[in-house]
């Protein structure tokens, strides 16, 4: 990277920084600043008759200012919002020395600088609740020019709206577009509501390895790294399923984890190579119980976010209040694609795909062929929350066979607005059947399917010890946040999404 070249405004700020130091003012002090109020608290609660907020200490960024000789106004923004601050030269600089006002405030401070104000609340002649400053402290000099949005004659200037710039400089986005903070506050609320829901049911939050010797638990292409001491390749976690089920074998009645997963696959508006997934496993339950459980959880989450179960998603009003429709996968294909694929082998499925003009690869096994038909013809119709149930065995290598039809599995995926939100099974706990399913995945891998699973012999050994009947479910936190906040790109709900490297001149 070359040495940065500063523009005229940036150089002016660096000169001001040095002048502050020359005046004996530390522009980056280390001392604790004793805030005792926020902008929102003062604006909401100040009562001039009660005389409250007669001694306040606030801090924040200068986001605007109007200098009028001996008196000036600042628009100060803290974490709760903006408030007006009034400064009078003779009151903030009593006595002969007017340096703090005439030089520091008027010439050396600028928009973006962080300052502290001690004073008292009052109401201006125009009826605006403000803070009358009695003391100003420089807390941090901002060396970059912030793109502060301005509007004149209906025209907006300096709007910080370019998506890539917003994602790359999220710190600037959160300052100049503070409404975007609400998305991440809601994301945290979603996670805390889910955690409380699980804890209230008596299930245990756990942590499982991110670096794994086998990338198990999902059909996905992994990231590979190398451990020097052990001289072995390791894989970044694609899913945490197999480790969580080992804990059910070990005797925990229910475990869950909010996990960072990594998949070395495409990037688009709904996929990021690093993402957050919650998985939960509960002993002595099945997938039908899990559907009821998911309905209850999502209703609580939706209400916690903004008080209602109804959300606007991609122009559709979607209601997360249960019960949701339950539609077997083969019936969905029959309903939306007009073809009955039950009992078909790979060659027959390939012919169906050709007849339906679906692009496929010769390496595709039955699982990907069925997924291709379903994805092309069914998903776009699933707007309201819908459980797609009873997947064919070929599509579900970790799932228990259906109790009434051994060609199907006890699995569901929850779809909302044409996108998968959750995936759940009655977990396969037959070690012999599981080993055969792994070997089928190995056959697909040898055919060229680099997303097929590896054989995890230790997991098979765990099942040989004995796992009780168990239901498990995974839900993508990023996509759930998109739905609950009405965002149409995953980058909007990730604080720091993956981007191509910046090119520096």
Q: Are 47 and 120 in contact (CB under 8 A)?
A: no
Q: Are residues 137 and 59 in the same domain?
A: yes
Q: What average pLDDT score do residues 300-320 get? A: 97
Task: Quickly state the pLDDT bin for 9 (edges 50, 70, 90).
Answer: very high
Domain of 35?
8-146
Q: How many CA atoms lie within 13 A of 11 on its CB side?
A: 5
Peptide bond into 323 cis (omega under 30): yes
Residue the block writes with tokens 């699982």:
367
Is position 151 within any domain? Answer: no
pLDDT at 505 over 80: no
Is position 343 within any domain? Answer: no
Q: What average pLDDT score do residues 467-484 get? A: 97
H/E stretch holding 325 reads strand 325-328
Q: What average pLDDT score do residues 413-438 get? A: 95
Task: Give the β-pairing of 81-88 and 71-78.
Answer: antiparallel
pLDDT at 443 over 90: no
Q: Give the per-residue pLDDT at 367.
A: 83
Closest CA to 89 of 75, 62, 73, 71: 71
Which is higher by pLDDT, 79 or 93? 79
Query: How far apart (Å, rounded) are the C-alpha atoms in residues 299 and 322?
Result: 7
- Report how far apart, in Å, the C-alpha atoms of 492 and of each of 344, 375, 401 are: 42, 25, 39
DSSP 64-128: EEEEETTEEEEEEEETTEEEEEEEEHHHHS-SS--HIIIIIIIII--TT-EEEEEEEEEE-TTS-
Q: Give the per-residue pLDDT at 397.
A: 82
Is position 223 within any domain? Answer: yes
Q: What average pLDDT score do residues 56-80 get? A: 95
Q: How many structural domains are present in the chain?
A: 2
Q: Are residues 105 and 201 in the same domain?
A: no
Q: What average pLDDT score do residues 271-292 get? A: 97
Q: Are 61 and 82 in contact (CB under 8 A)?
A: no
Is position 451 within any domain? Answer: yes
DSSP 28-64: S--S-------HHHHHHH--TTTT--SSEEEEEEEEE
Is position 459 within any domain? Answer: yes
Which two tokens mark 144? Answer: 């970059």
Task: Quickly state the pLDDT bin for 286 (edges 50, 70, 90).
Answer: very high
Q: Are residues 266 and 127 in the same domain?
A: no
Contacts of 192 (CB under 8 A, 6+ apart): none
Average pLDDT, the chain: 93
Point out which residues pair with 81 in neighbouring strands: 78
Which two tokens mark 255? Answer: 């475990």
Q: Are residues 191 and 306 in the same domain?
A: yes
Q: Are residues 138 and 285 in the same domain?
A: no
Is position 351 within any domain? Answer: no
Q: Are residues 141 and 196 in the same domain?
A: no
Q: For position 271, which CATH number holds? A: 3.30.930.10
Query: How far apart (Å, rounded) are the C-alpha atoms in residues 410 and 424?
Result: 9
pLDDT at 91 over 80: yes
Query: How far apart (Å, rounded) are the C-alpha atoms in residues 451 and 265?
Result: 10
Give the other-Cβ count within 10 Å of 472's Cβ: 25
Q: Are residues 141 and 247 in the same domain?
A: no
Query: How far apart (Å, rounded) are the C-alpha atoms in residues 266 and 408?
Result: 30
Query: How far apart (Å, rounded) are the C-alpha atoms in residues 162 and 173?
Result: 10
pLDDT at 3 over 70: no
pTM recorded for the entire structure? 0.91
Query: How far apart (Å, rounded) are the C-alpha atoms in residues 249 and 162?
Result: 50
Q: Give the per-residue pLDDT at 362.
A: 83
Query: How far apart (Å, rounded) are the C-alpha atoms in residues 177 and 158?
Result: 12
pLDDT digits (tens, 9 = 90+) for 367-414: 889 999 999 999 999 999 999 999 988 888 888 999 999 989 999 999
pLDDT at 5 over 90: no
pLDDT digits (tens, 9 = 90+) for 102-126: 899 999 999 999 999 999 999 999 9
Q: Give the per-residue pLDDT at 2.
A: 58
pLDDT digits (tens, 9 = 90+) for 339-352: 999 999 999 999 99
pLDDT digits (tens, 9 = 90+) for 247-262: 999 999 999 999 999 9
DSSP three-state, residue 326: strand
Q: Are residues 185 and 57 in the same domain?
A: no
Write down the H helix ranges in 275-379: 287-306, 329-337, 346-355, 366-377
DSSP 192-231: HHHHHHHHHTTPEE----SEESS--SSS-PPPEEEETTTT
Q: How many CA atoms lie within 13 A of 115 on its CB side?
A: 26
Is position 266 within any domain? Answer: yes
Is position 356 within any domain? Answer: no
């Amino acid at each position: 990277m070359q040495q940065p070249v500063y523009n005229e405004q940036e150089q002016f700020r660096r000169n001001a920084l040095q002048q502050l130091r020359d005046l004996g003012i530390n522009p980056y002090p280390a001392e604790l600043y004793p805030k005792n109020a926020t902008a929102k608290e003062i604006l909401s609660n100040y009562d001039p008759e009660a005389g409250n907020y007669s001694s306040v200490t606030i801090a924040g960024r200068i986001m605007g200012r109007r200098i009028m000789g001996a008196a000036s106004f600042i628009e100060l923004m803290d974490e709760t919002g903006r408030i007006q601050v009034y400064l009078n030269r003779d009151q903030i600089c009593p006595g002969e020395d007017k340096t703090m006002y005439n030089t520091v405030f008027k010439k050396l401070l600028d928009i973006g600088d962080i300052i502290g104000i001690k004073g008292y609340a009052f109401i201006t002649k125009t009826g605006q609740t403000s803070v009358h400053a009695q003391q100003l402290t420089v807390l941090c000099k901002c060396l970059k020019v912030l793109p502060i949005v301005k509007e004149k004659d209906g025209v907006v200037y300096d709007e910080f709206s370019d998506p890539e710039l917003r994602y790359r400089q999220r710190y600037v986005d959160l300052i100049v577009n503070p409404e975007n903070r609400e998305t991440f506050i809601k994301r945290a609320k979603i996670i805390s509501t889910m955690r409380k829901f699980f804890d209230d049911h008596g299930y245990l939050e756990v942590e499982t390895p991110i670096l794994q010797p086998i990338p198990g638990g999902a059909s996905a292409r992994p990231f590979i790294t190398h451990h020097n001491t052990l001289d072995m390749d390791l894989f970044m976690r694609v899913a945490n399923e197999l480790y969580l089920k080992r804990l059910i074998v070990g005797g925990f009645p229910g475990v869950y984890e909010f996990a960072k997963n990594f998949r070395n696959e495409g990037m688009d508006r709904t996929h990021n190579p690093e993402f957050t997934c919650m998985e939960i496993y509960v002993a002595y339950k099945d997938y039908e119980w899990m559907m009821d459980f998911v309905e209850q959880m999502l209703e609580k989450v939706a209400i916690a976010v903004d008080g209602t179960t109804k959300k606007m998603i991609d122009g559709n009003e979607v209601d997360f209040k249960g019960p949701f429709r339950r539609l077997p996968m083969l019936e969905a294909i029959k309903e939306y694609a007009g073809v009955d694929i039950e009992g078909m082998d790979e060659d027959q499925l390939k012919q169906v795909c050709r007849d339906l003009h679906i692009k496929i690869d010769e390496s595709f096994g039955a699982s990907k062929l069925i997924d291709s038909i379903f994805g092309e013809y069914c998903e776009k119709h699933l707007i309201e929350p819908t459980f797609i149930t009873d997947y064919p065995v070929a599509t579900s290598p970790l799932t228990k066979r259906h109790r009434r039809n051994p060609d199907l599995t006890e699995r569901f995926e929850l779809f909302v607005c044409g996108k998968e939100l959750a995936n759940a099974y009655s977990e396969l706990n037959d070690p012999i059947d599981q080993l055969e399913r792994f070997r089928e995945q190995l056959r697909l891998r040898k055919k060229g399917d680099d997303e097929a699973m590896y054989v995890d012999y230790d997991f098979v050994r765990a099942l040989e010890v004995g796992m009780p009947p168990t239901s498990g479910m995974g839900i993508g936190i990023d996509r759930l946040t998109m739905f609950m906040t009405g965002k149409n790109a995953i980058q909007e709900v990730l604080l720091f999404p993956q981007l191509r490297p910046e090119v520096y001149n």
